[in-house]
Amino acid sequence: MFSNKKIFQIAWDCDGVLAESHGPVLKAANKKLSQILGKKIELTKSNLNTFDALSEKTYELTKSEKISTEIKEFWHTPEILRISPPNPATIEVFKRCQSLPNTSQCVITTRRFQNRQITREWLEQYLPSINWQQNLFIRQESDSMNGEEFKIIHLKKINCMIEDNTVTVTNINRDRPKCNVIYINQPWNKLDQDKYRSQFRLDFDDSEGIFKKILAIREKYFSYCS
């Protein structure tokens, strides 16, 4: 029996975990690059083998820092992110976790302040039974910290974080060792061959594996609390 005072806290990243934002970002990037270069450009998810791959590919194609910077901003453009499709597997797991007793869930994202409203609307569309005014952590307009610093601060009381960013996973292991990580496999982290981090890896579409891992972390947490 779980103590009524103990709550297992789960946090989810947004882009690359709950939201497949690479789809609309790549569509917009391909359209712009095709217009600029006068030929059809078809960058796909498999081309994003690092977090900076889109801007690097853009520079490789155009040799223009200006265009590369403009296309990098697509990752932060509200109108583009608004149409991000959900990841069915992680959305399913989030919903399954809602039925777990003594469990709370939130989203902690490095998205910028201008994406607050569309992020809330997106979450309300696919996960409508959560109070996203309270359970969405996204940077304020006045925040001077970068996205990684913001995440680490808000992970202080989190027991389990589902994340796809290698840098964030590394920072959590270093600065928030009590926070267990589930490291979601995506093309942009496939070059990370670290043996320690590989222990936390699960495929982005492995709903059963992700849920079972959360249950195992949760059971361990409550065994310590009893």
Task: Confirm if 109 and 14 have CB atoms less than 8 A apart.
Answer: yes
Place 1 in a pLDDT band, splitting at 50, 70 and 90: very low
The predicted structure's pLDDT at residue 81: 96
Cα–Cα distance, 84 to 14 (Å, whole number): 11
* CB burial readout 141-164, b (16+ within 10 A) else e: eeeeeebbebbbebbeebbbbbbb
Assess whether pLDDT exceeds 50 at residue 68: yes
Q: Taking the alpha carbons of 211, 215, 217, 221 in that order, is the dihedral positive or negative?
A: positive
8-20+84-225, superfamily in CATH? Answer: HAD superfamily/HAD-like (3.40.50.1000)
Assess whether pLDDT exceeds 80 at residue 2: no
Assess whether pLDDT exceeds 60 at residue 3: no
Domain boundaries, the chain: 8-20+84-225, 22-81
Residue written as tokens 């949760």? 218
Nearest C-alpha neighbor of 8 from the set 223, 177, 175, 221: 221
Average pLDDT over residues 1-8: 70
Three-state SS for the chain is: CCCCCCCEEEEECCECCCECCHHHHHHHHHHHHHHHHCCCCCCCHHHCCCCCHHHHHHHHHHCCHHHHHHHHHHHHCHHHHCCCCECHHHHHHHHHHCCCCCEEEEEECCCCHHHHHHHHHHHHHHCCCCCHHHHEECCCCCCCCCHHHHHHHHCCCCCEEEECCHHHHHHHHHHCCCCEEEEEECHHHCCCCCHHHHCCEEECCCHHHHHHHHHHHHHHHHHHHC
The predicted structure's pLDDT at residue 140: 87
Nearest C-alpha neighbor of 90 from the set 34, 17, 174, 163: 17
Assess whether pLDDT exceeds 50 at residue 177: yes
Nearest C-alpha neighbor of 19 from the set 159, 140, 119: 119
Average pLDDT over residues 98-121: 96
Assess whether pLDDT exceeds 60 at residue 29: yes
- Residue 136 pairs in a beta bridge with 107
Place 143 in a pLDDT band, splitting at 50, 70 and 90: confident
The predicted structure's pLDDT at residue 218: 97
The predicted structure's pLDDT at residue 213: 98
Task: Confirm if 104 and 9 have CB atoms less than 8 A apart.
Answer: yes
Cα–Cα distance, 113 to 93 (Å, whole number): 27
Q: Residue 218: how many CA atoms within 13 Å on its side-chain side?
A: 20
Place 4 in a pLDDT band, splitting at 50, 70 and 90: low
